Structure 1
Amino acid sequence: MAEVKLFGASLSPFSRRVEMALKVKGVEYEYIEENLAEKSSLLLEYNPVHKKVPVLVHNRKPIVESLVILEYIDETWKQNPIMPEDPYDRATARFWAKFIDDKCLPAFWQALWSKENEREKAKEEACHHLKTLENELNAKGTKFFGGETIGLVDIAANFFGYWLAILQEAAEMDFVTKEEFPVFFDWIDEFSSCSAIKESLPAKDKMLAVFQSRFKASTWKY
């Protein structure tokens, strides 16, 4: 049997992306929790360039960077595909996944953690990017970005499906609402109700406590 290990951090949406994909695929794996304040020698050996999680190790060969790992998983285990078969559709999925990582996530992190005098502008930019993402979902007219089943873009957007609400509560902000983003909130309901996704989500109370303490300390960096 192929050896599959995942080095991750329980509160990281990037690590959880990989767990979600493995569970959607039905791939058995060993999970190794990393202490990011004191990284293990194995993590540094497997990811000497970025020195971060997640790292998937398949038959002793490491694969790094969450979006790269998701594509590797889809190409290696063919059941329950998370990438479209059509080349154009695959390219489109890659585009939106990259849009999430390059535009959406940095903007939301800035909105949540910026200084008060910079926050309103940061919130506007974050909501603009989320509306762009919502419009794409609305144009598809399907339950998920991947169609009627969870795909690459849905998994890439897991931060919005779970982390964002908890971070808003921890930061005592409420700038992303169902009234403003109804289609996106419908997607959140569908996404979070999938068994493979629910099994991959960290406990809300633990996350809330951790992020509340970080907001109070105001020392957490993206």
Structure 2
Amino acid sequence: MSSKVKVLGFWYSPFVARVKMGLKMKGVEFEYVEENIRAKSQLLLESNPIHKKVPVLLHDGRPIAETMIILEYIDQTWEGPPILPRDPYQRAMARFWVNFIDEKCLNTMLKACWRTGEEQKKFKEEAIEALQILENEIKGKKYFGGDEISVVDHAGNFIAYWFPLISSGMELITEDKFPNIWRWSSDYCNHAFVKENLPPMEAMIPKFKRR
């Protein structure tokens, strides 16, 4: 099986981490191929010619791109614990919250970190507004899927694990401002399966400091 399944990625990408966790949840053996962000391989360019980005899943030589599409493919192809809920309504809600995290939270949080002046202030306000919605959604629940980790939790891996490193003390998410997200972040990062499959923080620190 390992020779039939490949993942093209950057080891420090939260999106790649989602795909790798999805495969490991299903017990699928795979070959991981590390890409160079400054010199992307011909295999990557041929496998994802439109966006030219990772992650890409190769199954029997056939490429699948875009993180959520890959996760749905994994879920439908292999037996094992479900990645998305089986109930149609719950599945639709999971897709909604994954999209909300990617489009409303992740994008504005990154811009709040990397912009300056009035632009930074604007995106910080937008990020706080989006995070407040997420704060209300996780209230009273251990994970976004309830008692068990779901695809929505893995979509939020950037918020829980990557953002505290990238934000460099911005203190956008604090225990006082967002107690539910704060508690969820700790529970998620310390979950045995998640902790085992996150990239090592000590290795990411110099990479993001350079950026």
Q: Is the 8 A contact 1:82 1:146 kept in 2?
A: no
Measured in 1, the distance between the counterparts of 2:64 and 2:80 equals 20
Alignment map for 1:1-222 (pairs within 5 Å): 1=1, 3-138=4-139, 141-169=140-168, 172-214=169-211
Measured in 2, the distance between the counterparts of 1:161 and 1:25 equals 23
TM-score (norm. length: structure 1): 0.90
Letter in 2 for 1:182: P
Q: Quick check: 3-12 or 19-28, which moved more? A: 19-28
Measured in 2, the distance between the counterparts of 1:181 and 1:27 equals 36
CA-atom RMSD in angstroms: 1.4
Displacement after TM superposition at 1:121 (Å):
2.3
Q: Quick check: 87-96 or 120-129, which moved more? A: 120-129
SS of the residue corresponding to residue 63 of structure 2 reads strand
Q: Is the 8 A contact 2:18 2:67 kept in 1?
A: yes
Letter in 1 for 2:13: S
Measured in 2, the distance between the counterparts of 1:135 and 1:179 equals 14
Deviation per residue, 1:95-139 (Å, 9 max, x gap)? 11111111111100110001133222221110110111121111x
Aligned length: 210
Deviation per residue, 1:142-194 (Å, 9 max, x gap)? 3111222111111111101100111123xx42221111111111111221122
Measured in 2, the distance between the counterparts of 1:199 and 1:8 equals 18
Measured in 2, the distance between the counterparts of 1:142 and 1:175 equals 22
Displacement after TM superposition at 1:39 (Å):
0.5
In structure 1, list runs of 5 or more residues that go unmatched: 215-222
Letter in 2 for 1:23: K
Measured in 1, the distance between the counterparts of 2:117 and 2:207 equals 21
Deviation per residue, 1:24-61 (Å, 9 max, x gap)? 22221111100011000111111111111000111211
Displacement after TM superposition at 1:10 (Å):
1.1
Identity of aligned residues (%): 50
Letter in 2 for 1:196: F
Q: Is the 8 A contact 1:96 1:153 kept in 2?
A: yes
Q: Is the 8 A contact 1:5 1:58 kept in 2?
A: yes
Measured in 2, the distance between the counterparts of 1:90 and 1:161 equals 22
Measured in 2, the distance between the counterparts of 1:149 and 1:4 equals 27
Measured in 2, the distance between the counterparts of 1:130 and 1:26 equals 33
Letter in 1 for 2:157: N
Measured in 1, the distance between the counterparts of 2:42 and 2:122 equals 41
Measured in 1, the distance between the counterparts of 2:192 and 2:129 equals 30
Q: Is the 8 A contact 1:67 1:156 kept in 2?
A: no
